[in-house]
């Protein structure tokens, strides 16, 4: 089993589009993948959009990803890359 902590950095948090990207990604792997809020007891199946959205992870929320299975290293690396890439959502700085 591999565990790693990620912080939600996007302005909109882990909203529907970002959650859908995460679920699509995690569904490609055989391993069991869960996400847990570090500030509470909520845990989600990372392969279920409803479960991920129930985390209500706004900007600054810390999530612990837990991956267990035959392709756990590949899965965790892919998840880490998605978080590092900001879910592919580039935000322009607000103009004054």
* 10-55 residue pLDDT tens: 999 999 999 999 999 999 999 999 999 999 879 999 999 999 999 9
- In terms of Cα–Cα distance, which of 89, 3, 19, 25 is closest to 58? 19
| Residue among 9, 12, 13, 15 flagged as catalytic | 15
Residue 72 · residue 2 · CB < 8 Å: yes
Q: How confident is the model at residue 94 (pLDDT cuts 50, 70, 90)?
A: low
Residue 44 has a pLDDT of 97
Least confident of 32-41, 65-74, 85-94: 85-94
Establish whether 15 is a catalytic residue: yes
Q: Which residue has the higher pLDDT, 88 or 74?
A: 74
Q: Indicate the domain borders of the chain.
A: 2-88
Farthest-apart Cα atoms in the chain, separation: 50
Candidate CATH numbers 1.10.20.140, 2.70.150.10, 3.40.50.720, 3.30.1340.10; the one for domain 2-88: 3.30.1340.10
Integer CA distances (angstroms), 40 to 9, 24, 70, 85, in order: 18, 25, 29, 26
């Amino acid at each position: 089993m591999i565990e790693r902590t990620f912080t939600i950095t996007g302005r909109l948090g882990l909203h529907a589009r970002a959650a859908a990207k995460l679920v699509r990604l995690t569904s490609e792997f055989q391993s069991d993948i869960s996400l847990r809020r570090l500030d509470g007891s909520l845990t989600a199946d990372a392969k279920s959009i409803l479960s991920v959205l129930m985390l209500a992870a706004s900007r600054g929320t810390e999530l612990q990803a837990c991956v267990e299975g035959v392709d756990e290293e590949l899965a965790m690396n892919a998840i880490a890359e998605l978080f590092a890439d900001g879910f592919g959502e580039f935000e322009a700085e607000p103009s004054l």
